[in-house]
Every structure is written in C-alpha cells, then in structure tokens.
Structure 1
Amino acid sequence: MPLNWGYSAIRAQSIAAKLRRAGLGAKRQNLPVIYLPGILGTKLYDRQQQKFIWGGAGGFFARQPYEYQNTEAQRSRILASEQLHAFTIVPGLVHTLVTAELKQVLQTALGYQEGQDLFFLGHDWRADHRQLADHLDAEIQRLKTIFGADQKIVLIGQSASNLAVRYWLRHTSAENRETIAKWYSFGPPWQGTFHALSMMETGYYAATRYLHGFSPDDIAGYPSAYQLLPANPNVIDIHGQPLKDFDIYNPQCWQEYQIGPYRTSGGDISSQCQRVRDRLGQHLHQAKEFAASIAGVSQLEHAVPQVWYLSDNNQAVKAAVYHRQRWYLQAKNILRDIPQLASQTLAAGDDHLPLNGLLDHRCGPIVRDPNHQPWGTSYIYVSQARTHRALINHTPNLQSLAFDLAVEREKSI
C-alpha cells in the first residue's frame, strides 16, 4: 500500500482525537452529506467498450475517446456515476488521492459511511453545469424520500461544481433551499479562471505529456470549460494596454486572436477541431447565459449558511497577455518571459484563482487561524493549501470541515 494511504489514515485518526478532546466526537446521527465533485472528479465508463475511459491508468497508454457529444446516444453510452476517490497511476505503487482523504476523515472522525449518509453525486463533468444542477435537484428529492421531508442536508462542492450549486439555489424552490443545513465550497471559481482557457491551449495530462491525456480539442469541446471562462476578463498586450474590442463570448474574437480551436491557423485541421469550431458559437452563447444567471450576489444563496475554502499560497493569473500570436495564461510563463508585467497580471491565490476577486461578495468574515474558527456560522477560511487541487486534501481544511460538521450536527439535535 502506498505511503500516502498510511499518512491519510494517521491524519484522520489525529483529527478524530482532536474532536474527542473538544467534546465533539461522541456518536451522533449525522446530517446527510451530498458531495459534488468538480472537473475530472467522476469516472467515465464507456458501456460500448466496457471499460473506463477516465479514472484508471489504462488511459495513459492508449488514446481514449474523450470527445464530448451532447446527444442522447452518447449520454446513454457513457456512465458517470462512480466517484474518483483515488487515481491509480501504477497499480499497487503510485496512487494520487483525490477524495479518498476527505472520505476517510469523515468516516473516522464522524462515523460517516458512503451510501448511507455520505453520497457522492457522480456526473459527466464535461457537460453544461445546469445538467449537474438538475442532478442535484433529483438527488435532494431522493434523499427526502429516504430521510423524510424535514431532514436537513449538507452540500460539499469542489471547484467548478459550486457554480452548479449556486445556479440550483437561485432557481429552486424556497422549500428546497430551507432543506440545506450548510454548503461547504472548496475553491469556488465565482469569477471564472484563465486556467480554463489555458487547458484549451495546451490540453490536460494527468501523468505526463509523454503519455496520453486530454487534447486541447477535447477540452474545447466541453460546455463546462466555457462556463469556467472569466466572464469579464482583463486581457492586455505586451505594453500593458487592454486589447481593443476583446469579447470572450464573440466567436470572431476567438478566430482573430487564435484562441482554443483557432490556436493554429492555416493548413489542415482535424475533423474533431472542425466540429469544435462549428459548435463554438453555441458553446459561447450557453456560457454567457450561464454566467449571467450566477453573476453578482443573490440573497437566494446567501440565505444558506456557507463556508468557503480558499488559499493565497501561490500566484494566480488575474490578467492574460496576448503578444505576437501567443497567449500567456500561466504564472510560470509570465514570470519567465515577461516578468515586467507580473505585478499587473499576477495576484496571490491558489494557482488557478486570484484571491481578491473571490472576496467581492463574501459570505462571512475571513479567517486564517486553523484552530480558532467561528464553527457553525458562515465564514471564509483562507489557508495555505499548495494548489487549487490540494484544497480538498489540505489538513487544516479537512480539520475545519470535520469540526464544523460536528457543530452543525450538535445544533440539529
């Protein structure tokens, strides 16, 4: 068993011991939890090929059909119901833990059991986030039939899935909103992220670029990727001046500035790239509609108690740079090639999300002390998690979640 599994078990036991010392570790009836994974967080199983096309080591060594088709045939072919708790790179030797550590903490410290009072809401993360909102609504109704109409439910959202939660809260009934005891939001991209555009430029490779992964055209075909774009992006040239007439929702702008499926001009393009170009206008229109539906602040979601988990332990891109048909969308490239623009383009964050933009409409006070937090209330915990992906596994965040859930459990008695 890899060492990280052992470390995870020891950490869970340590958090459980701290809960007991605080008088919060007694056995209680837990509030049911629905966990909504973010991008890449659910396994994808191809019923026709009878294998996982995402979620296992096999995808590294053979090209997988990652192209997304929003058709009834593909929706029935691809199953997206199993949570990616751990990603196996080398079976028995190298595992990347995704939500396994969170699951272990909730089991060890609070007695949660997956499938009994801890539910992971699998979904095809390539699809429109409004589909996830529909799945959440159906899951809420399902749990009401199991636990009773008056049962309070906890939501935990990871990264992009929080956008679907916000959309759901703004469009669901007052009765459903009252069902939510609390909403824990890990790395919510309220204002989008330039990382979505970066992935359309370079693709995503879970292990190494020498092995297979998601190509730029794969990602540029996902409606969810467009819904993660900054709705009001700050884009400048090499002199620090705003690009004139830049509109991220205008397909002609993508062609003019060679974005995404237009990152290469001239010559032959693949049939997949052509299909992405053909659907670009539709994707951008849907993304603009979605961005408008979750923009700003609404009392509909702020009526629900919340905790946001953020980090400022890294550099995140707050302004993109375009120069000589090249985009600068990552902090490391800006610092290497155009350091004179660093102060104008970079800000403290978790490497995907600048912290300052996330605090425009805060849900509560900002807290930085891992041991003194206003348990049972709404607040924002800013930790030193290494990266955006590490937010869900960062020890102080897991301890905070366990303590706050324990307090919410006591309040419900």
Structure 2
Amino acid sequence: MRNILPNKNLLPCSKLLKSSIRFFFLLVLLSCRQSVPDRLTKNQVIPLKTDNKPVVFVPGIKGSKLEDQQGNLRWLDAKASLNFTNPDLRLMGDSYDLKPVGAIDRITAIPYLIDVAVYGPWLIKMSQQEGIDFYVFSYDWRKKNLATRDQLLQFLEEISKKYQKKPILIGHSMGGMLSLSTINLKPNLVDKVIYVGVPFRGGIGYMKDLHVGNATGLNAKIQGPCRIAKYETVYGFFPRLHTWDSKDIVVDSMGKTIELDLYNAKTWKENTLGFYANDCKPEELPSENELQTILDNSVKFRESLTPTKALLKAKIPTLVVHGKNLPVRKAMTLLDNKRIQTPSAKIWDLEIAPKEMGDGSVSYANSLPPEGILYKSIFTENEHSLMLNDPLIQEQVLEFIP
C-alpha cells in the first residue's frame, strides 16, 4: 500500500542503515526534519505499513540542527564547536527565521579523537527496529515553546492519520516538557510516553548560560549571554514561586533562601542578572517590556505542564529515565558585597552554591513528573546529553514500546 504524506517532514527514518553510517546521517538530514506541514506534495510518496508502530522523538534544547534560508548549517558543526567559525544564532535579523533540519547526530572534528556522539547512536538504534516507524520532530529551540507545542500537536495528528496505532512519544529534556504540554491538551493522541532527563520542576541550571555563558566546545561566544538574551525558550526553565516547581534556588552567602520572582523583568534588572551583568550590544537585548512579554509566555508554558484532569484520567503508560549519580547545581549564591569589595551591583556565584545529585544537568528531584502522573522509573549513569545512548536504556525503551 502506498500513501501520500505531507512533505518529507513526515517520512519515517529509513531502515536502510546497515550499509553505511554516512548514508544514515545524510538520510536523517533529509528525511527526519520537521516543520508544520502546510501542503500535500504528491511527489513525496513512499510505501508505508499502516500497522507499524509510529514513534516520535522530540530532542532537547539545542538538539535540533538549524540552517538558514540558503541551506547553510548555522547549528551545529565541528568548525563552530572548535571556534573556527561563529555563526549568528541571535533571534534577530536574518538569523530569526532558521529552519530545523533534524536532530544532531554527532559532531566530529577528528574522527575517533574529537568525536561527540550526540543523538547518533540512539537515532541509529531506533531506525533499525523492525515494525517501528521512527520520526524526529525537530524544531527551532530558540522560539516560543507554546508555538512549538502547537506544531508538535499538529505533527502528531498528521502521523496518527497514517497509522492504525497511536504514536508513542519520546521527549528528551526540553523535548519532554514540550511533550507533556502537548498531551495535556490532547491526552488521547498518544499510546505511550517516555520522558528522558526532563526538568519538570525547573531549576537554576540555565542561569549559567544567561549570566556568565556556557561554552559550546571551544566556542564561548556562539551561545553567550548576549547572543541568547532574546531567546523565548530559555527563561522557561526557571521555577515559579509558591508552586509545585523546585524551591530554594537562590541563597545568600550564609545559605539562607532568597525569594526572587524570575518571571518579573524588574527582578533581572534590579539584581543584575543575565544580560544585565554583561556588556552587550543594545540591539542584542530585549527591552524591559519585551523581556516581560517573554517571561509571561514562559510562565504560561510552565503552567501548561500542570496535569489536567483529562490527562490524569487517561492514565497514559509512562516511562521516565533519570540520572542520580552526577552533581547538579541546586542554587545560585548572592555574594557578600562588602567582603569582596565590589560596587553596589549584586554579584552572583554559580559554582560555590549547593549541589544535588542528578544527571549533571537536571537533578533527580526535578526530573520527577508532576503529582498525579503514574510512571515507571529507570536509571542511567550517562550524563544528560547522552542518556539515550546508553544501550541498557535503549533496550528498556524498546521493551516498553510494545
């Protein structure tokens, strides 16, 4: 039976992988990309077994490749990670409308020496499974989460029309947050869901990226505080005050909790947080009103993670992958200005603050789904970005899928 699918964004990853890994990476780039299907292209016709199990994978933040309108890869290649190039990824100008073109498989500078397998082993494993049609939902991880959530919802609806079975949804990190937000809207859309290293309850970890920067390989600038200041996603990792989100994320030099509302733009300015602590170009920064709009949308996204009655009633079979063998930053610390002889600007430290155990990025406590969701937990010792490359996790995921 032959089926017309809405463009190549809905083509499952090919099973023809055994002949060449190079062919696989090319195939991922060409056929596992995602955007909202806007028309049917009759030349995109492939054989499809409607009784196969559709599995949809949603990568985490920075896990999708992005290219510009000319087809140039902006995120991510070895040259950029080695700081030989510095492509513009600011959410402005001609870099605003970048296209997602599949999940990042691996970054190779020198084969076998400088070679980071990002999602590669996981993508290969899943694409080789008989009876499974494996899809990657890639997205522009700089843009508003609620808009991406709506795209994922439409993507799943299009997939569902082609199969006899509901799709199985797998989300890593922010991809898991998007997955929960999606099934909260339409619980009966999926058969099962798998969450991997998901910061359901938020955390302070991304403050390092926004405040002092977090290098990508040897490149400290490509995702520096000034470059990501206007991103509409990164602020949604922080906990809300007085909710089921994580607590005690800001402390003073004595370890006493300080309550800061990180969803109030004035908090960032008054406390010299994020881009306010950096010497950025004016055009790179959101105004206070623009920042507040970003924060308001981020709060709405976090609110969308609170389970609805319909979701709890659906009792979707759920598997959660955690780590709890690596330290994770629990809080940021306000240093004593007098002791360190600084001016009036507040000085924050993200290294001496308390730690808790997790996967290196998300603490175990914050990876627990919201109350009311029933789930089975499994554990890996792999760090956050490589959790799905653990062969034992892959086997347990495959056992859960049937």
TM-score (norm 1): 0.74
Distance (whole Å) between structure 1 residues aligned to residue 131 and residue 117 of structure 2: 19
Q: Any residues of structure 2 matched to 1:162-173 within 5 Å, and which?
A: 162-172=176-186
Cα pair 2:325 2:359 within 8 Å, conserved: yes
**Following the alignment from structure 1 to structure 2, what is the Cα–Cα distance between the partners of residues 298 and 90?**
51
Q: State the shift of 1:279 in Å.
A: 2.3
Number of residues paired by the alignment?
336
Given that 1:105 and 1:402 are in contact with CA atoms closer than 8 Å, whether structure 2 keeps it comes out as no
Work out the CA distance in 2 between the residues paired with 1:35 and 1:269. Answer: 36
Q: How does 1:127-276 map to 2 (within 5 A)?
A: 127-147=143-163, 150-172=164-186, 177-209=187-219, 212-232=221-241, 233-234=247-248, 235-243=250-258, 246-264=260-278, 269-275=280-286
- 1:135, distance to aligned residue in structure 2 (A): 1.6
| Corresponding residue to 1:53 among 74, 83, 106 | 74
Contact 1:37 1:157 in 2 (8 A): yes
Partner SS state of residue 219, structure 1: coil
**Aligned partner of 1:66 among 79, 89, 110:** 89
* Match of residue 314, structure 1, among 281, 305, 326: 326
Q: 1:156·1:184 contact (CA, 8 Å) conserved in 2?
A: yes
Amino acid at match of 2:386: A
Partner of 1:380: 377
Question: Which residue of the other structure, out of 390, 395, 400, is the alignment partner of 1:394?
Answer: 390
Cα distance in 1 between the residues matched to 2:230 and 2:381 = 33
2:275 & 2:290 partners in 1: Cα distance?
10
* Distance of aligned partners of 1:219 and 1:276 in 2 relative to their CA distance in 1, 3 Å threshold: farther
Contact 1:297-1:361 at 8 Å conserved across structures: no
Q: Per-residue deviation at 1:275?
A: 3.4
Indicate the larger mover: 157-166 or 291-300: 291-300
Which of 342, 356, 373 aligns to 2:365? It is 356
Deviations 1:187-229 (A, max 9, x none): 11101121111110132322124x6521112222211101111
- Which amino acid in 2 is paired with 1:38? G
Flag the 1:112–1:200 CA change in 2: closer, same or farther, 3 A: farther
Partner of 1:94: 114
* CA offsets 1:300-334 (integer angstroms, 9 cap, x no match): 156211101001011122232111333233xxx22
Q: Conserved in 2, the CA contact under 8 Å of 1:217 and 1:276?
A: no
After superposition, what is the alpha-carbon deviation per residue over 1:274-300, rounded to whole angstroms, capped at 9, x for unaligned? 336562111111112222222367551
Distance 2:348 2:387 in 1: 27
Contact persistence 2:105–2:119 (CA under 8 A): yes
Question: Is the Cα contact below 8 Å between 1:185 and 1:309 reproduced in 2?
Answer: yes
Partners of 2:125 and 2:217 in 1: CA distance: 26
CA distance in 1, matches of 2:87, 2:227: 10
Moved more, 55-64 or 29-38: 55-64
Q: Is the contact between residue 183 and residue 190 of structure 2 (CA under 8 Å) also seen in structure 1?
A: no
Q: Secondary structure at the match of 2:205?
A: helix
Residue deviations 1:320-354, cap 9 Å, x none? Answer: 2111333233xxx22xxx6xxxxxx2222112222
Q: Which amino acid aligns with 1:198?
A: K
Secondary structure, counterpart of 1:239 in structure 2: coil
Task: Name the CA shift for 1:357/1:45 in 2 (closer, same or farther; >3 Å).
Answer: closer
Distance in 2 (CA, whole Å) between partners of 1:276 and 1:85 is: 36
Letter of the structure 2 residue corresponding to residue 401 of structure 1: V
Counterpart secondary structure, 1:195 = coil
Tell me the SS of whatever aligns to 1:157.
Answer: strand
Q: Report the Cα distance in structure 1 between the residues aligned to 2:285 and 2:152, rounded to whole angstroms.
A: 33
Structure 2 partner of 1:21: none
TM-superposition CA deviations, 1:67-97 (whole Å, max 9, x none)? 114x9x866x411132211223346863311
Note closer, same or farther for the CA distance 1:29–1:274 as it changes in structure 2 (3 Å cut): closer
1:363 and 1:379 in contact (8 A); partners too: no
Q: Cα distance 1:306–1:214, how it changes in 2: closer, same or farther (>3 A)?
A: same
Would you say 1:36 and 2:69 are equivalent positions? no
Shift in CA distance, 236/68, structure 1 to aligned 2, threshold 3 Å: same
Deviation per residue, 1:128-174 (Å, 9 max, x gap): 11122112122122213322xx42211110101111111111223xx
User: CA 1:283–1:362 in structure 2 vs 1: closer, same or farther (change >3 Å)?
Assistant: same
| Gaps in structure 2 of 5+ consecutive residues | 1-17, 22-49, 242-246, 338-345
Question: Contact 1:306–1:379 at 8 Å: present in 2 too?
Answer: yes
Deviations 1:341-368 (CA, angstroms, capped at 9, x unpaired): xxxx22221122221243363744xxxx
What value does the CA root-mean-square deviation take over the aligned residues? 2.7
SS of the counterpart of 2:90? coil
Do the aligned partners of residues 294 and 107 (structure 1) sit closer, same or farther apart at CA in structure 2, a change above 3 Å counting? closer
Which structure 1 residue ranges, 5 or more long, are not aligned? 1-5, 10-27, 339-344, 365-377, 409-413
